[in-house]
Amino acid sequence: MKSNLFLQSVSPVKTADDLPLLKVRGLTKRYGQKQILDIDKLDLYAGQAVLLSGKNGAGKSTLMKILAGIERYNEGSLYYKEDRNKEDQARHQRFLQFSFLRKKLSLSNGIIYLHQHPFLFDISVRDNLAYGLKCQRMAKKQQAQIVQKALNWSGLEHLADRNAKTLSGGEMQRIALARAWVLDPKLLLLDEPTANMDTESREQTSFLIRRLINQGTGVVICSHETKPDNRLIDRVLHLDNGKLIESSRAELNQTRSPDNETSLPKTRAAIKPCKDLL
Amino acid sequence: MGDLTQTSLEALLLLVTGDTELWSIIRVSFSTTLKAILLATPVAFLISFILSIARFPGRWFLISLFNTLLGVPTVIVGLLLYLLLSRSGPFGDLRLLFTEPAMILGQILIALPLLVAMGLAAFEGADRRAWETTRTLGAGPVRAMLTLMYEVRFGLAAAGTAAYGRIISEVGCAMMVGGNILNYTRTIPTAIALETSKGEFAQGIALGMVLLLLALGLNFGVSIMQRRGEIY
Amino acid sequence: MKHLEHLVYKIIKAIPLTALLCSLLLVGISAHAATLRLATTTSTYNSGLLDYLIPDFEQHQGTQVQVIAVGTGKALRMGQSGDVDLVLVHAPKAEIQFVAQGHGVDRIGIMYNDFVIIGPPSDPAQVKNLKNATEALSRIAASQSLFVSRGDDSGTHKKERSLWKDITRPRESIWYREAGQGMGKVLQISNELDAYTLVDRGTWLAYKNKLNLKLLVEGDKRLHNPYSVIRVNPEKYADLNHKDAMAFSRWLASAEVQQKIAEFKVAGEQLFVPSAD
């Protein structure tokens, strides 16, 4: 009830072509009898940085997985951008029992979900980075080039030939980010990317996330902390009792610290490369 | 006691001197079981993979069905196959009874539930995140499955080894549908049963040694694989 | 891996219970007072003759008779190692050797029946109505028709080998299949493979309604099949049930039981001809 009001009163920052990347309508998700999610309306745009806050167990991860297309939901519809011509064809996954056989998943829509503790395959870091490219049947040579770029981008060249399972949590998170980066996603769904990390790892991971945002990648970061990293966030969504509440722009602006006012994400003021952090 | 050592020595002699009958039995044993395991494994792992990933009505029924089949004695499998393949049975025209294909079929049926159950355990032991990660990175179902299989390869190898150990030492079904015919369907376990019934223990012991050695090797392999699987 | 361990754990947990059940079973078996263990051939046992005779003996003597049906080779081996009290077998040469080596005593001929050669109705080797068993086997070999051998060192197998002796037959010929199983199983295999085989008349009569095979050769003297009872040597194994073994072999040779053997019929045909003096 409250969420409706906010969603209608707030018009989010729009991208160039003004069409939402992802439209959610009337989405519900239940585990048994328990209702986890009940979302009337949510539009996500490319290039936006969104903070999804909410208590532990509020259903943030479930929502993100549903948005990424790797978790089923009970009712409602998800429309991806390329569906605009066939919007009436609601996707009732409810009946798609064999949905795991569907070929078309989040990636074709440019959406990638990253776990809180990312899962790296039991192969070298280099092969992990190449995984998504291999799925696209890209030529080996081209793969190697892009992977090398990703290693540079994330500052992880020294780990390139290590087995990914032997790395620390912080290193894994950065590799997961680089592994998504090579696929040039429109929207990244990050599930508490810096939780349970020491300060150094947290800084290094945040640095990569900032780089992604500055490159214009849309990002949804979820966190159980309610205070967002204001410098980067365009929009705050709060998940409570299964409902989404969008913070008003005024509210958001108030919480923004004045010195960062000029470097609002949409202005994309260059962030100084923080090589020293890596 | 003296009898035992003497026959054991005779057995060793048979093995070393390359007794043609003995080695024909060993050859038949390995050729049938290897064919059976090669045919059964892909099907079984596909089933266990689908059971671990997909959620559909009847999934629990299928899982309990395979767990139940796990406990079915091999002679029951043999009996069923016998009735199906015998000339008065529905598939009698295929003339498969007492041939190698019939025995392979029996071994597949015996191996399948074990492979499915242990494969399912391996896949379910895999991290749910592994599947979600492959999918979100754009892998199709087939590639995602292969990736997942690689992630749980030790568990799957253990399943394959256990199933192989089961069919190569299986006597009830092999005897019933194979018929224990020398050079055709006489395998190590059925030959041991026969040699004992003849009162000829030396060849029985020689074959037993081969089987024991194999079982030892397989179990050793399984425990190494399980240990390597636990490192991560 | 957890699931796998759990599976293994469950199996291990089941072992003590199984062991308990097995031991209960063993106790149950050994609880019976006087028992007599008789090793005999599968062909005798399958004919149903012993089930027809033995209850009388058990009632009369108050002893339970345990019949162990195996091939003649195994039966003699069991007698040799003192696993049974007496044997009822049909392999004269092996029997004489058994007694000569001091494993058994008191060999008594009880009865005889005969072997027959059976085969597919189409009879590709053209052996029907031959009166000469060796001639029949040479025709089977010459036409390379499938022949299933017991191959288990049983009395029937010994008889078959003695018949083949005069015929040249390559050992690994593809038409000659050694099954290594009991008579009933060999009949089933021959039936499935459309093959010839040698069978004792008793088992043949018991099975013939279930088979497509036809009786082709009978009546040759060489197909004669004598049964004898031999007690295990009491000097070798003093702790066996020699009293009942003696009683049983005497009883089999008695006029009353010999009469009953002559009256025993399968499918309306007499199976055994009594031969004790």
What pLDDT was estimated at residue A138? 87
In this prediction, residues A62-81 reach a mean pLDDT of 81
At C225, phi and psi to the nearest 5? -135, 90
Rounded to the nearest integer, the mean pLDDT of chain C is 84
Contacts of C179 in chain B (CB under 8 A): 179-182
More confident residue, A262 or B231: B231
Q: Considering the domain boundaries, does residue A90 fall inside one?
A: no
Q: For chain A, what is the radius of gyration of the CA atoms?
A: 19
Least confident of A95-109, B19-33, B75-89: A95-109
What pLDDT was estimated at residue A252? 54
Asked if B182 lies within 8 A of C177 by C-beta distance, the reply is: yes
Q: Report the CATH number that the domain containing residue A166 is assigned in CATH.
A: 3.40.50.300
Question: pLDDT confidence of B122, banded at 50, 70, 90?
Answer: very high
Is there a shared CATH topology between the C29-113+226-274 domain and the C114-223 domain?
Answer: yes
From CA B175, how far away is CA C181, in angstroms rounded? Answer: 9
Asked if A97 lies within 8 A of B54 by C-beta distance, the reply is: yes
Contacts of A113 in chain B (CB under 8 A): 132, 136
Are C148 and C235 in contact by the 8 Å Cβ rule? The answer is no
Chain B nearest C-alpha distance from C149 (Å): 9
CATH of C114-223, one of 3.40.1350.10, 3.40.50.1000, 3.40.190.10, 3.40.50.10190: 3.40.190.10
ipTM over 0.90: no
pLDDT tens by residue, B24-59? 999 999 999 999 999 999 999 999 999 998 878 889
What pLDDT was estimated at residue A95? 35
Q: How many CB pairs under 8 A join B and C?
A: 83
- Whether the per-residue pLDDT at A129 is higher than 90: the answer is yes
Nearest residue on chain C to B97, alpha-carbon basis? C192
What pLDDT was estimated at residue A10? 38
Q: Considering the domain boundaries, does residue A221 fall inside one?
A: yes
- Whether the per-residue pLDDT at A18 is higher than 70: the answer is no
From CA B69, how far away is CA B71, in angstroms rounded? Answer: 5
* Cα distances (Å, whole numbers) of residue C88 to C75, C103, C226: 8, 14, 10
Question: Can you say how many angstroms the Cα of residue A191 is from the centroid of all Cα atoms in its chain?
Answer: 7
Contacts of B150 in chain A (CB under 8 A): 121-123
Question: pLDDT confidence of A92, banded at 50, 70, 90?
Answer: very low
pTM for the predicted model, two decimal places: 0.73
Alpha helices in chain B (DSSP H): 2-16, 20-53, 59-70, 74-85, 100-125, 128-136, 141-151, 153-168, 172-173, 188-198, 201-231
Share of chain C above pLDDT 70, in %: 87
pLDDT tens by residue, A144-175? 999 999 999 988 889 999 998 888 888 999 99
Question: pLDDT confidence of A93, banded at 50, 70, 90?
Answer: very low
Q: Considering the domain boundaries, does residue A198 fall inside one?
A: yes
Question: pLDDT confidence of A226, banded at 50, 70, 90?
Answer: low
From CA C35, how far away is CA C58, in angstroms rounded? Answer: 10
A102, A111, A135: best to mutate for the B interface, most B CBs within 10 A: A135
Contacts of C191 in chain B (CB under 8 A): 87
Share of chain B above pLDDT 90, in %: 44
In this prediction, residues A119-129 reach a mean pLDDT of 93
Q: Which domain holds residue A134?
A: 46-66+104-277
Question: pLDDT confidence of B118, banded at 50, 70, 90?
Answer: very high
Share of chain A above pLDDT 90, in %: 18
Chain B nearest C-alpha distance from C265 (Å): 28
The CATH class, in words, for C29-113+226-274 is alpha beta
What pLDDT was estimated at residue A34? 87
What pLDDT was estimated at residue A87? 40
Nearest residue on chain C to B154, alpha-carbon basis? C1
Q: Considering the domain boundaries, does residue A237 fall inside one?
A: yes
Q: Considering the domain boundaries, does residue A59 fall inside one?
A: yes
Chain C nearest C-alpha distance from B226 (Å): 7
Q: Considering the domain boundaries, does residue A212 fall inside one?
A: yes
pLDDT tens by residue, C93-142? 899 999 999 999 999 999 988 899 999 999 999 999 999 999 999 999 98
Share of chain B above pLDDT 70, in %: 97
Question: pLDDT confidence of B219, banded at 50, 70, 90?
Answer: confident
More confident residue, A246 or C28: A246
From CA C256, how far away is CA A184, in angstroms rounded? Answer: 100
Question: pLDDT confidence of A115, banded at 50, 70, 90?
Answer: very high
Please name the member of A97, A118, A134 whose beta carbon is closest to the beta carbon of B56: A97
Contacts of C211 in chain B (CB under 8 A): none
Restricting to C residues 60-79, those with a Cβ less than 8 Å away from any Cβ of B are 70-71, 73-74, 76-78
pLDDT tens by residue, C162-216? 898 878 765 557 889 988 888 888 999 999 999 999 998 888 988 888 899 999 9
In this prediction, residues B147-167 reach a mean pLDDT of 91
Split into its structural domains, chain A has a count of: 1
User: In chain C, what are the domain boundaries?
Assistant: 29-113+226-274, 114-223
In this prediction, residues B175-184 reach a mean pLDDT of 87
Q: Considering the domain boundaries, does residue A161 fall inside one?
A: yes
CA torsion angle for C47, C48, C49, C55 (degrees, to 10)? 170
In this prediction, residues C68-90 reach a mean pLDDT of 88
Give the domains, in start order, of chain B with CATH numbers. 19-231 (1.10.3720.10)
Rounded to the nearest integer, the mean pLDDT of chain B is 88
